[in-house]
Amino acid sequence: MVTLIQSQTQDYPTAADEATVDLADSPVRNLNQALHGAAHGQFWTVENPGGKHNLAVGIDAEVSVTINGHAGYYAAGMHQKGEVTIYGNAGVGLAENIMSGKVHVKGDASQSAAATGHGGLVVIDGNAGARCGISMKGVDIVVGGNIGHMSAFMAQAGRLVVCGDAGDALGDSIYEARIYVKGTVASLGADCIEKPMSIEHLDELAELLAAAGRTDNPADFKRYGSARNLYHFSVHNSTSY
C-alpha cells in the first residue's frame, strides 16, 4: 500500500509530497518502481521492511527515504541521488556500487558494505562485517564501530573511516584509497602500511566525521595506505602477488 500525504515541512525546495509504503501489504517491487518514478524532493517512509532484500535500490532522484526496521541484502544498492536512512540493521551488500548521495544505517551492517562504491557517503553507526569497502572506487565510508577482516581489499579510491577496531588483512592489495582507524588493527594486508597523519589528513578526516554526525577527535586516528610495492611486477615481490 502506498499512501501520499501533503508535506508539512520541506527540506528540499521542490518538495511536494510525503509517501508511506507498508511492506506488510505491498511487495518490494512496487516500492522500487515507485521510487524510480519519484519526483525530486519527495519524502518516503517504509514501514514493516521485515528484513526484505533489495530495498530502495537504484534511486536516481533527490528524495529522502526512511526505512523503519531491518533491511536484507543489497539495501540501497546502486544508489545515485538523495538519501536513504535505515533505522535498523542491514544485510550483505549495503549500498553496493553506490555512485553518489548518502546511505545511513543506524544499526549494524553485514559483509561487503559499499562494495565497489564509486562515490557518495555511507555511514554505519554500528559495526560492519567482513570486506567492508571491498574494491571501493571513490566512495566515502564512516563506521562508528568495528569492521571485519579483508576490509578495503583492492580499494582503489575513496576514504574508509573506522571509529572502532579493524579485522585481519586490512587494505590488502590497496591502491590509492585512504584508511583511518581509531582503534586497533588485527593485521595489515599485502602492501598496506601505516602512514603519517599530516594537517591535510586531519582536516580531511574532520570533514568526514562531521558529515557522518560524529564528534570523534581526528588526532586519535591512524592512517593506512598503499606502500606501492605491488604497482608493477617485481620478482622480489613474487610471493606477495
- What pLDDT, on a 0 to 100 scale, did the predictor assign at position 15? 43
Tell whether 116 and 225 lie within a shared domain.
Answer: yes
Task: Return d(Cα 156, Cα 12) in angstroms, integer.
Answer: 33
- What pLDDT, on a 0 to 100 scale, did the predictor assign at position 237? 60
Taking 50 as the threshold, does the pLDDT of residue 12 lie above it?
no
Task: Return d(Cα 3, Cα 117) in angstroms, integer.
Answer: 32
Tell whether 126 and 224 lie within a shared domain.
Answer: yes
Tell whether 220 and 180 lie within a shared domain.
Answer: yes
- For residues 198 and 3, the model is more confident at 198
User: For 163-167, what is the mean pLDDT?
Assistant: 98
Tell whether 59 and 164 lie within a shared domain.
Answer: no
Taking 80 as the threshold, does the pLDDT of residue 14 lie above it?
no
Tell whether 148 and 117 lie within a shared domain.
Answer: yes
Tell whether 122 and 65 lie within a shared domain.
Answer: no
- In the numeric block, which cell numbers belong to residue 122? 555511507
Tell whether 76 and 162 lie within a shared domain.
Answer: no
Is 62 within the bounds of a domain?
Answer: yes
Per the structure, the count of domains in the chain is 2
Taking 50 as the threshold, does the pLDDT of residue 130 lie above it?
yes
pLDDT tens-digit readout, 38-95: 989 999 999 999 999 999 999 999 999 999 999 999 999 999 999 999 999 999 999 9
Domain that holds residue 59: 1-89
Tell whether 141 and 59 lie within a shared domain.
Answer: no
Mean pLDDT of the residues in the chain:
91
Tell whether 115 and 85 lie within a shared domain.
Answer: no
Strands 83-86 and 2-6: unpaired
Buried b (16+ CB within 10 A) or exposed e, 149-181: bbbbbbbbebbbbbbbbbbebbbbbbbebbbbb
Is 240 within the bounds of a domain?
Answer: no
Is 189 within the bounds of a domain?
Answer: yes
Tell whether 39 and 137 lie within a shared domain.
Answer: no
Taking 50 as the threshold, does the pLDDT of residue 6 lie above it?
no
